[in-house]
Structure 1
Amino acid sequence: MRLATIRTATGTRAARVETNVAIPLGYPDVGALLAAADVQDINRIPPAGKPVPVEDADFAPVLTSPSKVICVGLNYRTHILEMGRELPEHPTLFAKFADTLIGARDDVVLPITSAEVDWEAELGVIIGTSLRRATREQAHAAIAGYTVVNDVSMRDWQWRTTQWLQGKAFERTTPVGPFLVTPDEVDHARDLEVRCEVDGSVMQHSRTSDLLFDPAATVAYISQFTTLRPGDLIATGTPGGVGAARDPKVFLAPGQTLLTVIEGLGECVNVCREEKE
């Protein structure tokens, strides 16, 4: 099953995607839908609007107001090595805010206060049921599905201190979507191709099998210190190929197109636009 959140004349709506159409449902986004219904029951929810061709859909972030956006840093072996780090014993975590999230076709805003905006293609994990201090098996079962994320990062802000939050939390910078794809369609994302392109040039190319901490392990770990709730989003880290690790360094510029693709999950296509004062 595929779910999305689309913009309509009356606001955002969760939608069930069938073949080439998105069928609006009576919930403001996929997070609200997951909070109200088990994934297995979503096929039985009646439509709340006319079907919209997927090619014409205006995709909002698949989750518009998650209670938590938690991200993993240094989680692909290739990326850890290119950054000159040792393999961590535990997941390296930081947070984002809902204000950072944009839709799969929205513009990425390049802030006027940063000159080093970088790409980070990532597998997104969406929680379907509440869990606290979960085992790996419980965490595995609580995953509603997977999505595409790009953790666009302001490196000059990120590296001002040893804490990364300020470089990761700029508004309107993080594409999420276009779909939630349920685990049965992608074998729980065990070995999916991950690719990031800038203006058609491949910058990152890897597979989710290179993850150091897989989705179930990451979800279980996070649940030890906070309750995860339906619609929470976890970005699982990025593979090698980021602009900051290149020699010379390369960063995003206005007018460039950022393409983020994960096999079986879809793609985000976002034009970079300079922030207006």
Structure 2
Amino acid sequence: MRIARFSLDGNVAFGVVEGEDSQPDSLLIDIIRGIPFAAFERSGTKVPLSKVRLLPPVLPSKVVAIGRNYADHAAELGNEVPDVPFAFFKPSTSVIGPGDRIIHPTFSADVQHEAELAVVIGRLCHQVPRERAHEVILGYTCANDLTARDTQRAEKQWARAKGFDGSCPLGPWVETGLSVEQAGDLAVTCTVNGELRQAGRTSQMVNGILDLIVNVTEAMTLLPGDVILTGTPAGVGPLRAGDEVAVSIEGIGTLTNKVITRD
């Protein structure tokens, strides 16, 4: 099931996306009664996807991102793979949705794309044992962990480099129909203006989805709608104003955003 969050005539709602991706003009949203983090019903009121504005599929209280979780990406930046998951935060203000503009920050000359699988948490959880970690997952979506690489190198701390406004595009929806095993072996790609930049598989992750949930919840409580970013494969590179960047994940969808400069 694909659950989208959208705006229509000034109203915000959740809905289930129906139809085949091969026929995008036929995609519909069946508006739901309730929220996806609890029992809900389909209303039967269906709207063409083309008539709504897709929003970030969730509004996380926090985004917990995992760095250097693909060995080839760590190597391309001259870093070692850490012995344990290497986590950092992206604030809620970094989150934007599909089709939203990425405003290139004025303090950086080298903003780079990082295509990632995002795990969306479905319930409040803390100190989750590995054998139950799958129970706290609502589903999965696409993410772009935008990084001001020059700022990251210069400042050591990653707060500004990873947390600037708009640095965490998410979408286009949450796919709830994938098992952890399926999500653990999906193709992840990134294109810029149609040119392939990144191509990897989630099976290349050093630390898998369940292990990341265990590691993160050992330290903090996750709330419904919180997101864990699972790392990026090799091939990261710069984005310039005017570029269109698209993150695609097999079985989920494609997240597309355009880069602009601040007015």
Distance (Å, rounded) in 2 between the aligned partners of 1:50 and 1:108: 32
CA shift, 1:85, in A, is: 2.1
Residue equivalent to 2:23:
none
Deviations 1:222-268 (A, max 9, x none): 0001111211111111110112xxxxxxx211111101100111001
Deviations 1:162-209 (A, max 9, x none): 221210111123210111011436844111000001111111100000
- Residue pair 1:34, 1:230 contacting (<8 A) in 2 also: no
Q: Which amino acid aligns with 2:52?
A: A
- Residue pair 1:127, 1:143 contacting (<8 A) in 2 also: yes
Would you say 1:6 and 2:6 are equivalent positions? yes
Q: How many residues align?
A: 256
Residue equivalent to 1:55:
50
Distance (Å, rounded) in 2 between the aligned partners of 1:227 and 1:185: 23
Aligned 1:109-188 pairs, distance under 5 A: 109-184=103-178, 187-188=181-182
Greater displacement, 221-230 / 52-61: 52-61
Where 1:228 maps in the other structure, the secondary structure is: coil
Scaled by the length of structure 2, what TM-score is found?
A: 0.92
Residue equivalent to 1:22:
29
Root mean square deviation of aligned Cα: 1.7
CA shift, 1:138, in A, is: 1.5
- Residue pair 1:60, 1:102 contacting (<8 A) in 2 also: yes
Identity rate, percent:
36
Distance (Å, rounded) in 1 between the aligned partners of 2:52 and 2:182: 26
Residue equivalent to 1:257:
244
Where 1:239 maps in the other structure, the secondary structure is: coil
Where 2:232 maps in the other structure, the secondary structure is: coil
Structure 1 residues 82, 118: CA separation in 2 closer, same or farther (over 3 Å shift)? same
Unpaired segments ≥5 residues, structure 1? 28-32, 244-250
Q: Which amino acid aligns with 1:219?
A: I
Scaled by the length of structure 1, what TM-score is found?
A: 0.87
Distance (Å, rounded) in 2 between the aligned partners of 1:50 and 1:106: 26
Residue equivalent to 1:102:
96
